[in-house]
Amino acid sequence: MTTQTAPRRLLVISGLAWLFDAMDVGLLAFVIAALKSEWGLSATEMGWIGSISSLGMAVGAVFFGILADRIGRKDVLIFTLLLFSVGAGLSALVSSYVLFLIIRFFVGAGLGGELPVASTLVSESVPVAARGRMVVLLESFWAGGWLLSALIAYFVIPQWGWRIAVLGSALTALYALYLRYGLHEQPHAVSAKQSLRQNLITLWRAPYWQKTLMLWIVWFMVVFSYYGMFLWLPSVMVIKGYSLINSFGYSLIMTLAQLPGYFIAAWLVEKWGRKLVLSLFLLGTAFSAMGFATAGNVGLLLTFGALLSFFNLGAWGVLYAYSPEQYPLAIRASGTGIAAGVGRLGGILGPLMVGSLVAEGVSLTLIFGIFATAIVLAVVAIITLGRETKGVVLD
């Protein structure tokens, strides 16, 4: 191993990989809306596109999380970035719905593996007093990726089509080559080699079982609601009667609110602690979701949509900071990756549920009410099972 990368440089290097991931996920939301008319997809088929991506993310989070504990964070980070970049490029070339789903599974595997590994790498490499803030700031690159995807959707898709927009994601493979030489990890980053079964047994033994239960509940509920709401955001606005191009423009405005959400969460997380900030931002998400669903005019739609982005993405940042802090080095990437994998199962269910309920004529108020309830259950788990990790030194 080489010398450890300086914390701020590590933040930027890992953050750019995170940004590219977010750009792909964000573009998928707009691509789904575009494919509805081009391929004549039903609401259920639209839901499956988001769900198959989440299935891939679940597999990738578990597999690559365990692999990162065995061979190191850096190599896994590079491989996952390559996997999703190449897959994104291939998806732009297909004209078959089934083949598109298959490729999106592998794109999701790359995405799902990269995110927990990157957050673990940063968490292990910064001073304890700034650890939470740095990981939340890492997550803030997600907002940059979503903003970039919204800009591409607004200016590129109507003019040149979704294929050109998605093809641009393949260019991020070039960044993986830079990571090969620009990223270094700590000498002790490779730990004991344990199987998935051994890791699961350890996670559910004292003193970790309560932390594991809390993380699995929170990850499932947060991912279920996030992918159910945000992958359907442009399509929901079309359902409300706005044109496709207007829905893309409104989504761009809402996406801007993600950045202050991250920055304020990053500022508060080292002052108020992980549990309080995460709980407050999740409660704000639940409130905003109901406001967005019931909004009757453009002003309310944009206001509650912006608040939804602000609170939900700020909560994501804190969750990524909180998760690696629950475990020791030997199972840290595995524990975080498996929790994220459990969460991705919720990401499978969320888009599918929206598609099936929309097809049956269920109101948006009831649909978003289900997501709001799930988020409140996550808050209950944090309060009752979670322990504060602010200032705790990681081995």
Residue with tokens 């975080």: 336
Q: In the numeric block, which tokens belong to residue 191?
A: 């730990």
User: Exposed, middle or buried by CB within 10 Å (0-12, 13-18, 19+), for 98?
Assistant: exposed
- Domains delineated in the chain: 7-185+193-385 (1.20.1250.20)
Beta-carbon neighbour count of residue 129 at 10 Å?
A: 10
CB 238 within 8 A of CB 247: yes
Q: The tokens of 301 are what?
A: 């739609």
- 132: which 2 tokens? 């939470």
Q: What is the pLDDT along the chain (395 residues), one digit of tens a residue?
A: 344 557 777 788 788 878 888 888 788 878 887 888 889 888 788 888 878 888 898 899 888 888 888 887 878 888 888 888 888 889 889 889 999 999 999 999 998 888 788 878 888 777 777 888 888 888 888 888 888 887 888 888 888 888 988 887 777 767 766 665 566 655 544 445 566 677 778 889 889 999 999 999 999 999 999 988 887 777 777 777 777 667 777 777 887 888 899 889 989 998 999 999 999 999 999 999 999 989 888 888 889 989 999 999 899 989 988 998 999 888 888 888 889 889 988 888 888 898 889 889 898 899 999 999 999 999 999 999 999 988 877 76
The owner of tokens 């700590």 is: 186
Tokens 């990401």 correspond to 347
Q: Helices then strands (H, E): number in the chain?
A: 17, 0
Pair 389, 326: CB distance under 8 Å = yes
